[in-house]
Structure 1
Amino acid sequence: MKIKQIGTYNGDIISTILENRQIEDLDLFLNPSNENELDAFKLHNMAHAAEVLLAHLMIGNTVAILVDPDADGFSSSSIIYQYIKKIAPESNLIYLLHDSKAHGLTEKILEQIADSSIDLVLIPDAASNDKEEISRLYHMGLDVIVIDHHEVEELPPVGIIVNNQLAWNEDTNKNLVGAGMAIKFCQALDSMLNFNYADEFFDLAAMGQIGDSSDISENEVRYMVFKGIRTLNNPLIQLALEDRFGDVTNIAPKDLSFSIIPLINSVVRVGTMEEKDLLFRALNKIGADETFLVTKKKKNKTTGKFDFYEVNQNIYEYAYDMCKKVKSRQDTMVKKAMAKLETDINNEGGIAIGVLPTSDEGSITGLVANKLVSKLQKPVLLVYNLKGKYVGSGRGYEKVLPSLKDWCNETGLVEFAQGHANAFGISIFEKDFEAFKEKTKEVIPEEFVYEVDLHLEGKVDKQAILDVEDNKYLFGGKVHEPLFAFTGIKVRKDFIEQRGSMLTFYDSGVKFVMYGAPAGLFESLTYNFDKYITMDFVGRPSKDTYGAKEKPILVLSDCERNEKPNIEEPVVTAETIVF
């Protein structure tokens, strides 16, 4: 395991990390502002888009919002939906939901629009490249407004495309995703109408920007995100955060990634149309006065049996419970898909390829691929056959390739690999699939070096771990979470535990946790006569907040036995003991 410390530790771990991330204006980073935010009207077509929407609202036409199926899509659509209802409460406004995790103007959506009385289709977070589909709607007599952030391959000749990635935008901000672009659209409308409503939806913008992995270190995005999580206006988002964290006064951006965002994504992937509709209604306060009589159960401590009782829930409580049930259903689907693939995956080369027998698990290919990456310690492509193509998801592993997406595209054998470097969608024509599989066998892992912000030999810095976790709100985007390395750490062998695929080490009052530990690692470390073993650890700081005292945790990215001879046994103190 090769380790390189970035820069020099100056004695203050937080300032060291920020220096390592090359933050030039520290005061602005710590106190983001809206002073230099992008003028919405500098985005090409923004004024035209706002004028067309207002014209349709003025004459009472039917406006439809097409909701893209992910956290950013639901966020951006909700921002615009609520804004329109704010300025035109009686407007004929409807929303369209996908019945699968498909994006943009699919054939089903086009048929649905054709059979309706819709006059304007508003599409946040998608459709910039739906040239033919937008033309079909245009020739049907409909106006189309796209508010998007995805790269544009070929601009449609008709329709109104507002996209911050277009080259001719003036001083654009390319870090805005669908939700951020929706805010800009609402800011343009605010300016034209002399309102100030857009700021009310910054919590939804925060959810979209974080959910779509944007660079939240950029000032405008950072301002939007921080204002959003400090002024929670959306009841469903607030409920999810309170249930997960209790106190929401010190919520950090990454906390949304462990609460509301995965719940929304699970409903999008595996929820029914009724469940997706309930989610959108709860996010948008549609039916806020509605109540639901729900039967719940609670274990009786005296009898040991479950007692059943009824409660009335509002739409937010009802939708939140539904989201948790769907998330549990999704987790079960992932486990079943993993079981199918354990003995049926091409694992010969540097990249593993799994082929699902049907498209039934198509909505969870990315989740299953993530699990397989942890298990196999290599990049994974998980696909299924659909109409002469193998389509699915790719998940990378940087210790083998810096960008799995780039590698796939460079083979010249894929129809496309689009998304992030190591989390993307892929399509391969059936005729090229066998040749592509042969290519994966040629991949040889590059020598990987862990770049860490702190590397200590023979000791652990508990305070540095706690300081990072106490300042977790600082991290996101290019200011990525730090890695620490503690090497030459002598651990008592009886202080190593395994529960399922989770491996835990305890030393010096710190818990070192490895999730998805490779099979056989526990046995290789403990099946010997040594009382102590010397370990090298690399991981991300965290902490256990249960109980009266905060306890530092290092969530391991990697660990290995240090083969240097032990010079002396460590002194066992109260801090060494398992907490």
Structure 2
Amino acid sequence: MIYADCDIDGVISAVILYKHLIKFTDNVEIKYVERSRGHGSGLVIDQIEDDTDLYIAVDSSSNDVEPLKALTEKGIDCLVIDHHSVDVENPYCILVNPQQSDCEYPNKNASGGLLVYKVCQVIDDYMDTRYSLELSDLPGFSLMADVMCMKEMENRYFAKVSLKGLRHEGLKLLFEAMNSDLKNLTSTDFLYGVSPAVTAATRADNIKLAIDFLMCDKATPETKGYVKELIKLNEKRKVVQAEALERHKDSIKEEDKVVIVYDPTIGKGLNGLVGQELSKKFNRPAIVLGDGEDENTYAGSFRGLEDFSMLDLLERCRSVEHTGGHPGAGGLSLKKDNLQDLKDELNNRLSSFVPDDTLYYDLEFSADSVNENLINYLTEFYRYSGNNFKPGTFLIKDLFISDKKLMGKTNNTVKIDCGKLQLMKFKTDEEYYNGVPVFTEVEAVGSLNMNVSIQYRPRKKVIKACQLFIEEYREIN
């Protein structure tokens, strides 16, 4: 019995393990609970039949002592393959986790999916088989989805295997549906396209859709149907996220060191994404809360900054009942009566913190020097980007705006024509569009991209456009 955690790393982990074990026995099954119920083995043990021989939790459960004790007392062996922090000793399982104090495995930044894959490699060694090779394109996606460190050489290797050696037919279809070039995939294509679409299913309490999709080995009509469902859920997710940001953007107090909002209408699955948007907009950590398990409790998600561990900070706060996850992203719960205490405690602990709205960039270029060759060179350098190795950001000078256009189903994308370079601003609105000046010289900061499309009429033609996905621009007087 495999227990899949309810995020994309957990789903990939479970699918890798299932596809590998099914080569040896058909007596294997995946169990799960929806994201709205939470994480951990305690939520699923009532689904585990008494005649189960082996229970395997992936991407969770390192600290689940009591649930695993209950299973072992029934005679069920327990294996946990996880990468989250280990806070207690758990004698009721075999634990594969590089965060253990006595673990000598050098990669402390592995994802659940990568660790499961390594276990499958070991099984192959013992059984003199090579089945894991068929699944080698999946671990890198779990690493990217869980935003693991991309300075880690093993992580970079598996990211390369995923993007350069993609075999999964369902993922190919989803990349293509999002206008990605299969011959030239980057981490950005995955992080801002495919990953949110698959995650949209788990956030909508439809983890079965994500599992069914990743189980697909062939490009069948059923697989194409899964792709359409994922894209539909992702579009809905975008709308909910944008509306939540709009509701709360004017309610943030400048003196608060951490953005904290309560909004039960967002839903547990999207709290973290809204927190991420609020954190980015206000350049400070963010907490988005909804209703907890009882009427006296709030529960939600946090998003932090790279400068410090938000998880460690919340663990030190007396007003927090429970927290867990990663240093920059996770969940928490607290008593409703303690909300103001949490705000005060965070303001005190972060009293010297000053939100930094500075735009940083790696290099600067004149618009005349930006061409396809330069963009392709930079794309290759930053192809395997992620945590601690961000995609390149550039200042482009000598831009002259000749035209602008409001685009997208919800008018949330602005295209700004600057000669041979197009400036693209996403997740924005008509107010931003109206503020863009025309026939004006500007400079802009953002990431460079080649947009490739095919025109089929009157004859087939490949159209390429140099683009700058802008964070901000300023007029030059």
Q: What is the TM-score normalised by the length of structure 1?
A: 0.70
Cross-structure match for 2:259: 352
Aligned equivalent of 2:424, options 497, 513, 519: 513
Shift of 1:532: 5.5
How far apart, in 2, do the equivalents of 1:126 and 1:491 lie?
52
Is it true that 1:558 corresponds to 2:464 in the alignment? no
CA contact (8 A) 1:144 1:160 kept: yes
Structure-1 separation of matches of 2:71 and 2:139? 29
In the other structure, the counterpart of 2:332 is 426
Residue 408 to residue 560, structure 1, CA distance change in 2 (3 Å) = farther
* Displacement after TM superposition at 1:486 (Å): 3.1
Determine if contact 1:65/1:96 at 8 Å carries over to the other structure.
Answer: yes
Taking the aligned partners of 2:213 and 2:416, their CA distance within structure 1 comes to 43
Alpha-carbon spacing, 1:385–1:477, altered in 2? closer, same or farther (3 Å): closer
2:193 counterpart of 1:283: no
Offset, 1:270: 0.6
Q: Is structure 2 residue 296 aligned with structure 1 residue 385?
A: no
| Of 369, 379, 386, the match for 1:461 | 369
Measured at CA, do residues 193 and 441 of structure 1 come closer, stay the same or move farther in structure 2, by a change above 3 Å? closer
Does residue 436 of the first structure (1) align with residue 342 of the second (2)? Answer: yes
Q: Find the counterpart in structure 2 of residue 200 from structure 1.
A: 134
In structure 2, distance between residues paired with 1:176 and 1:537: 36
Unaligned runs of 5+ in 1: 1-63, 290-312, 567-579
> Following the alignment from structure 2 to structure 1, what is the Cα–Cα distance between the partners of residues 413 and 400?
17
Q: How far apart, in 2, do the equivalents of 1:322 and 1:477 lie?
A: 29
* Cα separation, partners in 2 of 1:452 and 1:259, compared to 1, 3 Å: closer
User: Alpha carbons of 1:329 and 1:507: their partners in 2 closer, same or farther (altered >3 Å)?
Assistant: closer
Question: In 2, Cα distance between the equivalents of 1:484 and 1:538?
Answer: 5
Aligned pairs (5 A) from 1:174-253: 174-245=108-179, 247-253=181-187
- Partner of 2:118, secondary structure, is helix
* Counterpart residue type for residue 66 of structure 1: Y
Q: Which residue of 2 aligns with 1:78?
A: 15
Shift of 1:93: 1.2
Hey, what's the Cα distance between the residues in 2 that align with 1:76 and 1:320? 20
Q: Taking structure 1 as reference, are residues 93 and 525 closer, same or farther at Cα in structure 2, changes over 3 Å only?
A: closer
Q: Which has the larger radius of gyration?
A: 1
Question: Which of 361, 385, 407 in structure 2 is aligned with 1:452?
Answer: 361
Query: Secondary structure of 1:545's partner?
Result: strand
1:144 aligns with 2:78: yes
Q: Distance in 2 between matches of 1:461 and 1:406?
A: 45
CA contact (8 A) 2:81 2:96 kept: yes
**How far, CA to CA, are the matches of 2:368 and 2:64 in structure 1?**
54
Q: Of 84, 100, 115, which aligns to 2:35?
A: 100
Query: How many angstroms apart in 2 are the aligned matches of 1:495 and 1:284?
Result: 46
| 2:383 is the alignment partner of 1:473 | yes
Instruction: Quote the residue 2:302 is aligned against.
Output: 394
Report the number of matched residues: 459
**Contact 1:346–1:353 (8 Å) recurs in 2:** no
Partners of 1:123 and 1:560 lie apart in 2 by: 51
CA-CA distance at 1:230 after TM superposition: 3.5
**Change over 3 Å in CA distance of 1:94–1:413 after alignment to 2:** same
Determine the structure 2 residue equivalent to 1:14. Answer: none
Structure 1 residues 534 and 436 mapped into 2: Cα distance closer, same or farther (>3 Å)? farther
Contact 2:178 2:193 in 1 (8 A): yes
Aligned to 2:271: 365
Change (3 A) 1:506 1:341: same
AA of the residue aligned to 2:197: L
Are the counterparts in 2 of residues 345 and 355 from structure 1 also a CA contact under 8 Å? no
Assess if the C-alpha contact under 8 Å between 2:151 and 2:389 holds in 1. yes
Distance change (3 Å), C-alpha of 1:127 and 1:422: closer
SS in 2 for 1:384: strand
Q: Which residue of 2 aligns with 1:66?
A: 3
CA distance in 1, matches of 2:264, 2:162: 43
Residues 283 and 355, structure 2, Cα contact 8 Å, conserved in 1: no
Alpha-carbon shift at residue 502 of structure 1 (Å)? 3.9
Instruction: Give SS of 2:182's match.
Output: coil
Task: Give the direction of change, closer, same or farther, for the CA distance of 1:455–1:232 in structure 2 (3 Å limit).
Answer: closer
Question: What is the deviation of 1:474?
Answer: 4.3
Quick check: 2:399–2:443 contact (8 Å CA) kept in 1? no
Q: Once the two structures are superposed, what CA deviation does each residue of 1:439-461 show, in whole Å capped at 9, x if it has no partner?
A: 566766345544422135x7563
| AA partner of residue 119 (structure 2) | F
Q: Which amino acid aligns with 2:472?
A: D
* Kept in 2: contact 1:392–1:427 (CA 8 A): yes
Residue 486 of structure 1: aligned partner: 396
* Residue 216 of structure 1, CA deviation: 3.7
TM-superposition CA deviations, 1:178-217 (whole Å, max 9, x none): 1111111111111111111111111221221221112344
Q: What is the SS of the residue equivalent to 1:145?
A: strand
Q: Which stretch shows the higher mean deviation, 165-174 or 261-270?
A: 165-174
Counterpart residue identity of residue 174, structure 1: K
8 Å contact from structure 2 (residues 150, 384) kept in 1: no
1:121 equivalent among 55, 80, 105: 55
CA contact (8 A) 2:175 2:182 kept: yes
- Aligned in 2, Cα 1:515/1:410: closer, same or farther, shift over 3 Å? farther
Using the alignment, how far apart are the partners of 1:523 and 1:328 within structure 2? 25
CA RMSD of aligned residues (A): 3.3
Q: Which amino acid aligns with 1:455?
A: E
Report 1 or 2 for greater relative contact order, CA contacts < 8 Å, sequence distance ≥ 6.
1
Tell whether the 8 Å contact from 2:287 to 2:300 is kept in structure 1 after alignment: yes
CA apart distance, 1:226: 2.3
| 1:381-425 Cα deviation digits (max 9, x unpaired) | 210131333221223467xx7665555456554345544454332
Deviation track 1:39-62 (CA, whole Å, cap 9, x = no partner) reads xxxxxxxxxxxxxxxxxxxxxxxx
State how far apart, in whole Å, the 2-side matches of 1:405 and 1:508 are.
46
Question: How far apart are the structure 1 equivalents of 2:78 and 2:70?
Answer: 10
Distance verdict in 2 for CA 1:110–1:165, change over 3 Å = same
Task: Select between 230-239 and 94-103 the one with higher mean Cα deviation.
Answer: 230-239
> 1 CA distance for matches of 2:323 and 2:474?
34
1:238: how far off? 2.7
Contact 2:406-2:430 within 8 A present in 1 as well? no
Q: Which amino acid aligns with 1:65?
A: I
> Aligned with 1:383: secondary structure?
strand
1:201–1:228 Cα contact (<8 Å) kept = no
Q: Quote the residue 1:57 is aligned against.
A: none
**1:157 is matched with which residue?**
91
Deviation of 1:133 after TM superposition, in Å, equals: 1.4
After the TM superposition, which of the residue ranges 413-422 and 550-559 deviates more from structure 2?
413-422
2:385 partner amino acid: F
**Are 1:544 and 2:454 matched, yes or no?**
no
SS at 1:195's partner residue?
coil
- Could you tell me which of 229, 241, 257 is aligned with 1:334? 241
Among all aligned residue pairs of Structure 1 and Structure 2, give the percentage whose two residues are the same amino acid.
22
Q: Residue by residue, what CA displacement relative to the aligned partner does 1:84-105 show, whole Å, maximum 9, x if unpaired?
A: 11122xx321110213342221
- Check whether the contact 2:9–2:59 (CA below 8 A) recurs between aligned residues: yes
Structure 2 CA distance, aligned partners of 1:508 and 1:314?
42
